[in-house]
Amino acid sequence: MKVPALIMAGGKGKRIGLPVEKPLLLFLGKPLIDWVLEAVASADKVSEFYVVTSVNTPETEKRCKSKGWKFLRTAAKGYHSDLKQAVRNAGLSGAVLTIPADLPAVTGSFLDKVVSEFEECGKNFLAVFVPIKSREALGLSVSSTDEYNGVWHAVSGVNIVNGAKIQEEGKIETSVIITEETEVLLNINTQKDLEISEKIIQDQGKK
């Protein structure tokens, strides 16, 4: 099974507090979005990808053009609305992998594992969550959270959705991966997150 991927890069990134679009924020000398795109390009189970932009990220669009990356501009009405619009505009009706542009440690092999899990789960939606305590223990911020089986988790932003189903109203049957793996643990929302994550990656010698 191979799936198309959407790299979500249209948010304002206000929490970073820098005069630069978050996808272009340098992580170990390279824009965040470049780390994510390299992972997507190396994933065996990704068939194609689009960068999802908005009026908030014109410089990111320019980078897409310079790199030859396909992009979809959305109306910047919020994550879920923009995701629906991107899926609709790209004509994606089957399984779609979504990844935020601020996961610099993500790898192609991790994304392949998520796609394989989706194949086995038999549901229309698969979300990857991180234990809140795991981020807090490292001094990382916790921004977006969601509940699963009565427990709140940090949302990684890595999901697989059924493109046709998310256009419908109502609840979608969901499966969840809960993991502390570095690939999704290091989600950059603040300047402090950036500094801590860079040190972790350097200490691990992974980049």
What's the pLDDT tens digit per position in 62-90? 999 999 999 999 998 888 889 999 999 99
Confidence tier at 11 by pLDDT (50, 70, 90): confident
pLDDT at 15: 59
CA–CA separation, 148 vs 75, rounded Å?
30
pLDDT at 176: 95
pLDDT digits (tens, 9 = 90+) for 83-116: 999 999 999 999 999 999 999 999 999 999 999 9
Domains of the chain: 3-204 (3.90.550.10)
For 114, 117, 160, 187, the CA distances from 148, given in Å and listed in that order, are: 18, 17, 16, 20
CA atoms within 13 A on the CB side of 187: 27
pTM exceeding 0.85 = yes
pLDDT at 110: 98
